[in-house]
Amino acid sequence: MLGNTFGRLFQVTTCGESYGWRATEKEATYGGALLTIVNGVPPGLRLDVKKIQYELDKRRPGQSKLDSPRKETDRVEVVSGWLEGVTTGAPVGLLVRNVDTQDVHIDQYRQVKDVVRPGHAEVNFFYKYGEYGDWCGAGRASGRETVGRVAGGAVAKQILAREGVEVLAHVVESHGRKGRSIAEGTMTFEEMKANYRKNELNCCDPQAAEGMIADLLKVRQDGDTAGGTIEIVARGVPAGLGEPVFDKLKATIAHGLCSIGAMTALEFGSGFKAAGMLGSQWNDPPFVENGRVRFRTNRCGGFLGGMSNGEDLVLRMAVKPTPTISKPQDTVDMTTLKAKKLEAITRRDITICPRIYPVAEAMVAIAILDALYMARAWYGLARLDPKWEKLTQPRHKGDYTV
């Protein structure tokens, strides 16, 4: 298995899976750990463990009636890269133990280990790892893998905060029910922040949230699951981030978001609406404000030529329904290659939305920070008139309306 690192200059490398197995020379037992190594952390940052824990708590299971009842504490331990609370420039190591590893659940997985869940990555794990693939809670194809993403993203967010950048996501659609959204101009960033994490779905439109949650409880009763849409906003991103050809910021953010298991679609700004528009309707008119170039509208979602333009980055990402459902499904036993009925048994989320938004925030944060490193490398060498770099700084917080 390759591809366990994300980023070029700011890099997050992860390992660890759903249940895991730990062993020293003397003992061996279930309950391994998820490790995250964060490269490219600058020195002199007072790293706040509470803030890393806060991000991990966002995605922790078992917090509401919408989530899987699995109980993980997800306590993070910072084990390297700092001294007396301040980063040294060395890579930061993060350790999270798996604790909910009771035999009863492991036995459940063992019983159906050869029967693939429809809609799930498991079939591919057979192709790639044969009979050796991790059958225990989906191994590295489990949502538990995202602990490392969120841990790494939590470090990125603390560095970005020094640069005035913040990244937030919320739920704007659940099972077809839509809430107000920034991309559609029906919500401001301030409203989003004011209602952030105020309900168990993290839909920042309280009215819509109520209907969505009621609907989801009905879905659960039916033994089913539901899809939804996440909106992600990044404020304070300097203009000019991203490289012009293959590594546009759009491309590296898309790489990060499309690597999240359950995603099925991605829009930048007005997204698919652009397919119905004219150039005279789509182009965001630039103007000068306080000596900086701004745009009167944000149909491009903050990207020009795939690079940030100094306005808010606005993205939407569709998420498929959790594949594991309680209803009987037709499937296949991979060892016998015979048809098989599957009645799901394992614990699961009714909707992935409230657990995936922190993962989306993390991936976007890492991609932005990585692009910021590249931009700083470039400015260091390019020796341009410093006015150009100054012009890239985004507007002051709070002065923005869509």
Of residues 131 through 150, those in contact with its own copies by CB under 8 A are 131-136, 139-141, 145
Instruction: Reduce the DSSP state of residue 38 to 3 states and report it.
Output: strand
Q: Which of 103, 104, 107, 385 binds its own copies (CB under 8 A)?
A: 385
Which helix (DSSP H) or strand (DSSP E) does residue 51 occupy?
A: helix 49-59
Q: Is 86 or 194 the residue whose CB approaches its own copies more closely?
A: 86
> What beta strand segments (E) does 40-160 contain?
76-80, 82-83, 86-87, 92-97
DSSP 131: G
Give Dmax over CA atoms of the chain in angstroms.
71
319 binds its own copies (CB under 8 A): yes
Which are the contacts of 391, defined by CB distance < 8 A and separation ≥ 6? 239, 291, 292, 293
Instruction: Reduce the DSSP state of residue 293 to 3 states and report it.
Output: strand
Q: Tell me the torsion sign for CA atoms 216, 175, 208, 301.
A: positive
| Phi-psi sector, 340: left (phi>0), alpha (psi -120 to 50), beta | beta
Q: Is 112 or 304 the residue whose CB approaches its own copies more closely?
A: 304
Quote the least distance from Cβ 190 to its own copies, whole Å: 25
What separation in angstroms does the CA of 148 have from each of 244, 304, 359? 29, 31, 9
CA angle 245–270–185, rounded 5-degree value: 135
Quote the least distance from Cβ 332 to its own copies, whole Å: 5
75 binds its own copies (CB under 8 A): yes
324 binds its own copies (CB under 8 A): yes
Quote the least distance from Cβ 123 to its own copies, whole Å: 6
Q: Is 40 or 61 the residue whose CB approaches its own copies more closely?
A: 40
265 binds its own copies (CB under 8 A): yes
Among positions 353-372, residues that touch its own copies (CB under 8 A) are 372
Q: Which of 209, 314, 325, 368 binds its own copies (CB under 8 A)?
A: 325
119 binds its own copies (CB under 8 A): yes
Q: Which stretch binds its own copies (CB under 8 A): 30-38, 63-71, 184-192, 193-201?
A: 30-38
Q: Is 121 or 193 the residue whose CB approaches its own copies more closely?
A: 121
114 binds its own copies (CB under 8 A): no
Among positions 194-223, residues that touch its own copies (CB under 8 A) are 219, 222
Quote the least distance from Cβ 114 to its own copies, whole Å: 12
> Which neighbouring-strand residues pair with 170?
231
Which are the contacts of 246, defined by CB distance < 8 A and separation ≥ 6? none
Q: Is 42 or 194 the residue whose CB approaches its own copies more closely?
A: 42
341 binds its own copies (CB under 8 A): no
Q: Which of 258, 343, 345, 396 binds its own copies (CB under 8 A)?
A: 258
Among positions 276-305, residues that touch its own copies (CB under 8 A) are 276-288, 291, 293, 300-301, 304-305
Task: State the Cα–Cα distance between residues 185 and 167, nearest whole angstrom.
Answer: 18
Q: Which stretch binds its own copies (CB under 8 A): 58-66, 185-193, 199-207, 248-256?
A: 248-256
Q: What is the CB-side half-sphere exposure of residue 116 using CA atoms within 13 A?
A: 23
Q: Is 193 or 282 the residue whose CB approaches its own copies more closely?
A: 282
Residues belonging to the chain: 402
Residue with tokens 């898309």: 254
